[in-house]
């Protein structure tokens, strides 16, 4: 059988975006068997477009099974290194579809859950959320790859500033149980429920099924929420919803944008980990307005 191999590197959000690309590819080539080799194969569990998925580095007999004397097409290119992405002309999914040579017809991203994964999410919430009748707001003001891969707990390019995050909590705490999703090294916020346990990504995402509102940044949760059909408020700083976001969400861009980059900028305007000397802002209000964020959540 004709086979197509996709190798996907990078973060979880990029993997979720890839589900739309694979769906578009399958629509264009319905008879080809799709094999995915990636960093987070759990994203492709139960995906009907994917015949097999492997974790990078765990591919015994792969060459013999899929490549040697086989009808195979292989995509290992990175869409982040394509001109249309670097020049910010197209959404990541559109760039990726162009790269693999298939039309993009607004195929959606997709994550599929079994009932046990959904139960795992609600089970976590039952143990940490008070039963007081308030709706649940999932709040992710800080993100990133983890303390071993970023220099500071707060990244100006991606995160909501800790002072503004606390101000948002102060204004919403009477209306919602606020679940702060974070890593252990992220800033501590008062008057919300902090959750930094290390669990599987799908268990983490499944908690959103049981939430009434979601206030997120450009991180894996906003990709997952879109794939789950859960409209959310998403905050942006140095990245753009036109490249990484979804129209399902209410996307709040910064009041002022500085897309030109600085002396250390090469193929991208700013380092995603928020290098301090690159920050072009003089005042937090030039990025986000707390009242606008709160009113959007309450709407």
Q: Where are the domains of the chain?
A: 3-100, 115-298
pLDDT of residue 123: 93
Could you give the CA distance from residue 267 to residue 32 in angstroms, rounded to a whole number?
34
pLDDT of residue 220: 96
- Tens of pLDDT, residues 113-137: 999 999 999 999 999 999 999 999 9
Q: Which CATH class is domain 115-298?
A: alpha beta
CB 30 within 8 A of CB 239: no
Residue 51: half-sphere exposure toward Cβ, Cα within 13 Å: 14
Could you give the CA distance from residue 299 to residue 294 in angstroms, rounded to a whole number?
9
List all residues 6 or more positions away from 212 whose beta carbon is below 8 Å from its beta carbon.
135, 136, 137, 176
pLDDT of residue 148: 79
pLDDT of residue 202: 93
CATH architecture, range 3-100: 3-Layer(aba) Sandwich (3.40)
Give pTM, 2 decimals: 0.95
pLDDT of residue 134: 97
Pick out the chain residues at pLDDT < 50. Answer: none
Dihedral of the alpha carbons of 272, 275, 279, 282, in degrees to the nearest 10? 130
């Amino acid at each position: 059988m004709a086979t197509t191999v996709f190798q996907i590197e990078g973060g979880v959000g990029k993997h979720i975006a890839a589900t739309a690309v694979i769906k578009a590819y399958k629509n264009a080539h319905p008879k080809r068997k799709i094999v995915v080799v990636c960093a987070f194969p759990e994203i492709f569990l139960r995906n009907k477009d994917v015949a097999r998925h492997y974790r990078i580095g765990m591919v015994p007999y792969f060459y013999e099974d899929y490549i040697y004397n086989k009808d195979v097409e292989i995509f290992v290119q990175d869409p982040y290194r394509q001109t249309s992405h670097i020049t910010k002309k197209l959404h990541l999914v559109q760039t990726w579809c162009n790269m693999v040579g298939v039309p993009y017809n607004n195929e959606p991203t997709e994550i599929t859950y079994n009932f046990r994964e959904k139960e795992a999410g609600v089970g976590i919430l039952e143990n940490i959320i008070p039963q007081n009748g308030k709706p649940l707001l999932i709040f992710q003001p800080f993100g990133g790859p983890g303390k071993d891969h970023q220099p500071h707990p707060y990244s100006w390019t991606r995160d909501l500033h800790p002072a503004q995050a606390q101000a948002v909590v102060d204004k919403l705490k009477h209306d919602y149980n606020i679940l702060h999703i974070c890593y252990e090294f992220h800033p501590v916020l008062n008057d919300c429920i902090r959750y930094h346990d290390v669990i599987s990504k799908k268990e983490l995402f499944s908690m959103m099924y049981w939430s009434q509102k979601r206030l997120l940044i450009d991180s894996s949760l906003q990709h997952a929420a879109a794939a789950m059909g859960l409209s959310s408020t998403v905050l942006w700083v140095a990245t753009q919803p036109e490249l990484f976001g979804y129209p399902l969400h209410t996307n709040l861009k910064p009041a002022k944008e500085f897309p030109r980059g600085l002396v250390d900028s090469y193929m991208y305007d700013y380092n995603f980990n928020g290098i301090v000397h690159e920050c072009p802002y003089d005042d937090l209000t030039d990025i986000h307005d707390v009242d606008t964020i709160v009113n959007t959540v309450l709407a």
